[in-house]
Structure formats: C-alpha cells, structure tokens
Structure 1
C-alpha cells in the first residue's frame, strides 16, 4: 500500500493570503533505500544528484508538482551566494545558484536540503517571494543578505522569513574554522557576541563545538533588516522518520522548501 505524502506546512503568522508555501518530508514517494522513508516504504527524494534512479526522482517530482501552480524552478546548488530572478530563467533551465526570487504569479521558488538551512522570504504585500539555500559556507559568505538585496532591488517592501528543517544545534559538530568564518563577517562587538553565542564547546573534544545554524541565520537576517523570522524548530538529523539527513546517513535523499505567488 502506498503512503500518502506528508507535507510540512510552515507556521508563518502574517503570511499574505496570495503567497503559497510548502516544505516536503521524506514520506510518500517511490524511491527505494537508502532514499526511502526510513520505515519500509518509498521515499520522496527530489534530488537528481544523489544516486537515486532518475525515473524514481521524476515520479517524486511529479507527485510534488501536483500540489503546486507550476513546475518548481530547480537550481544547481553549489553552496554559493548567487541569486536568480525567475523572470529571467527559461523553462527547463537549471541555473547554478543558491537562491531564487519571483515577482510573477505561478513561478515556484524551490530549495533542496538534507541538513543545510532553507530560508523562505516574502514581503508583507505578497509581491515578492524568494528561497535561499544556507549551508554554513553560504550563510557565512552572505547568501541571505544577497537574497534580501535582490528582493529589495526587485521592489519588495518589508520582508519576513521562515526557516525550514535543518540540522539542529545539538547535532551540528564543527571545527574552529566555522566560527572564525562567521567572526570574520561580524562588523562590531554586538556581532561578535551574537556569533560566539551560537557556538558551545563539546566536553572531551578539544577544538570541537556545537553550532546553532538557526541562531546564526536569525542574527544575519536581523542585521539585514528582516526582523520578523519564523520557524527554526526542526532538526533533520534527529528525526529520521520525517527528514533526510546527510550528516546522519551519508547517502540519502533531498527534501525541498518552496514558495510562490498564487
């Protein structure tokens, strides 16, 4: 018996009525292990680059598209900071970028993740939406700030954001280079305090720290003027029955977070 997809609908107070949002889980697809749902049924893997069978991924993407006003504008994500405007992306084109924005109804922004942080954006008028892929490298290098800048250049008003499923702060073990990357971008003492507060040493592991990627993203969004930020309550690593996690499983699938203007 097939399992129905289990969609995650973001809890996003104040979201404009004309904006649609959706986040997928690993449940309700057709992919076999190790891309399955973790409980013996097919998985809703959406990544074409992880070793899954192409026709399985195509079927999973079709299941997702049935919930949307159009085919998602997939990106080739490279942990960078490039942002594309979907008005300039041709059908079937897969640009190399880590964020996309749209001001056109029916164009679906999408980000795939399996521990990295997906961030969805919209303005209060529902005229501009965006999605960004924020692994720690992209986060430290400014992918969220570049997305905010691109949205404002496209005419966006006051912005809001929602942070989707990502690796939780009690699972994200990192070396000293990660904190140093964020400290390099801290512009004042307040920034230094916010960055250092997102890291905690691990007893018995000198040089290793736990990193709160949600906390870092909130700080960077607030610094960019996005004061209303929701989400941040999920951990991909800890919830094997709901989410794919590269840190936990190595070879695994990808879930997606999507936003569009209706």
Structure 2
C-alpha cells in the first residue's frame, strides 16, 4: 500500500528505501533544486545515478561508486552496490520500482507508452534475473491513469486493445507485463498525475517541463 509523508509517496511493502516526490517539493529536473532536496533528505547527490531518458528500452547496471553519473540513452537503472541510489524524472510516465531484498539489488524504470511497447519492463526484469535468482518485488508509482489518458486507435492497436473506448490503461498494461515476467509481488499506487489537483506535475494536462523524481536507494 502506498502512503504519503512530508510530500513523498512510498510503497510500504517495497523492500528498499524509495520515494516519489510531489510538485510542492519543486522541479526535480532543475539540478540545484534536486541537489538541495537530496541533501535535506540525507542523500548525497553524488551517489545518485540518473539517465538521459529517451523512451527506449536500454537497461544499465551500475555496480561501482559514482559521482553524479548521468547514463546516456537509458530508461532503466539497476544498482547493486550499497550506498548507491538511482532516479528517474517523470511528469505522466510510469516509474516502476524493482527490488530483490536478499540480493541487495534494486532498479527504477522509466516507462512511457513507447517504453512499454518496446519491452522496457521485460528487459529490466531480465537484467535482474541475470544477476540473482531471488524474488523480485515490483511497485508502480504515480503516473497518468486511464481516467485521463485518451488516445487514438493506432496507439491502442500497438497494445492489442480492442473496443470503442478511447482511453488506454497503462497501469494495467504494466502490471500485466510484470506478471508475464514472473513477478508475484506487484503493487500500484493508483495515483493519477493528471487529475491530482496539482499534487504532481503532468505534461499532458499542463504541457509543463517540470518533473517529479522517483528514487530508490540500497
């Protein structure tokens, strides 16, 4: 179950420290804002691994100490060394947290509709399974929900969704992909970034360039 405390949303059942920020904490795309927030949260900004997100399906594993590493053209980050954290920026796309408690391995995935269609979740889970045989926990953070995501027939067809309804349920698609990957523990926040009364940033609603941060730390 997801809960909020101090402007941070977390899944209480996920095995690693993690959170999703809210709009009130500022634009996490701004390095100065992000750095100040991380320091106030007790996280060294230099231990945070981020990525140039391109709505693709590239997954990178980071296993050594870093100093503010920015990965090129990457949409899923796996971390394996204690003290590291990984973060993605979103404003409607899905942040998906993955973790294997006994192995001390975690990941955060940036999954827009293009990433889902290109198999970013499948690839991220495969990467974790190549590193450990432990049970994977998955949790889907706040993103644009079906209630606010109207699309055309072409996009629905990309996911094999039939019917007259013009709204696409990315949450259900992500959960189904996680299930097909063999994950048993799956949680979803159910929170919509578009109709949240300004709680989160939403590109579709406001055309904003501002972003929230989804971070996991081991």
Q: Same fold (TM over 0.5)?
A: yes
SS of the equivalent of 1:125 reads coil
Q: Give the number of the structure whose residues are more often strand, by fraction.
A: 2
**Corresponding position of 1:125:** 102
Q: Deviations over 1:32-56 (max 9, x none)?
A: xxxxxxxxxxxx10114xxxxxxxx
**Closer, same or farther in 2 for the Cα pair 1:220/1:75, shift >3 Å?**
same
CA distance in 2 between partners of 1:76 and 1:156 (Å): 29
* Aligned residue-pair number: 211
Flag as ranges the 4+ runs of structure 1 deviating above 6 A. Answer: none
**Corresponding position of 1:215:** 172
**Corresponding position of 2:195:** 238
**Closer, same or farther in 2 for the Cα pair 1:237/1:98, shift >3 Å?**
same
**Corresponding position of 1:148:** 125
CA distance in 1 between partners of 2:33 and 2:111 (Å): 27
Q: Which among 15, 18, 28 is matched to residue 46 of structure 1?
A: 28
**Closer, same or farther in 2 for the Cα pair 1:6/1:149, shift >3 Å?**
same
TM-score with structure 2 setting the length: 0.89
Q: Which among 135, 157, 160 is matched to residue 134 of structure 2?
A: 157
User: Is 2:164 aligned against 1:201?
Assistant: yes
Q: Deviations over 1:97-121 (max 9, x none)?
A: 0010111111101111000000001
Is contact 1:10–1:231 with CA below 8 Å preserved after alignment?
no
**Corresponding position of 1:31:** none
Q: Which among 56, 60, 64 is matched to residue 84 of structure 1?
A: 60
**Closer, same or farther in 2 for the Cα pair 1:76/1:20, shift >3 Å?**
same
Q: Deviations over 1:205-245 (max 9, x none)?
A: xxxx1011100000000001112111231000001321000
SS of the equivalent of 2:147 reads coil
What does residue range 1-262 of structure 1 map to in structure 2 within 5 Å?
A: 6-13=6-13, 15-16=14-15, 19-28=16-25, 44-48=26-30, 57-71=31-45, 72-87=48-63, 90-95=66-71, 96-125=73-102, 127-183=104-160, 196=161, 201-202=164-165, 209-261=166-218
Is contact 2:50–2:88 with CA below 8 Å preserved after alignment?
yes
**Closer, same or farther in 2 for the Cα pair 1:182/1:123, shift >3 Å?**
same
Which stretches in structure 1 are left out of the alignment for 5+ residues? 29-43, 49-56, 184-195, 203-208
TM-score with structure 1 setting the length: 0.75
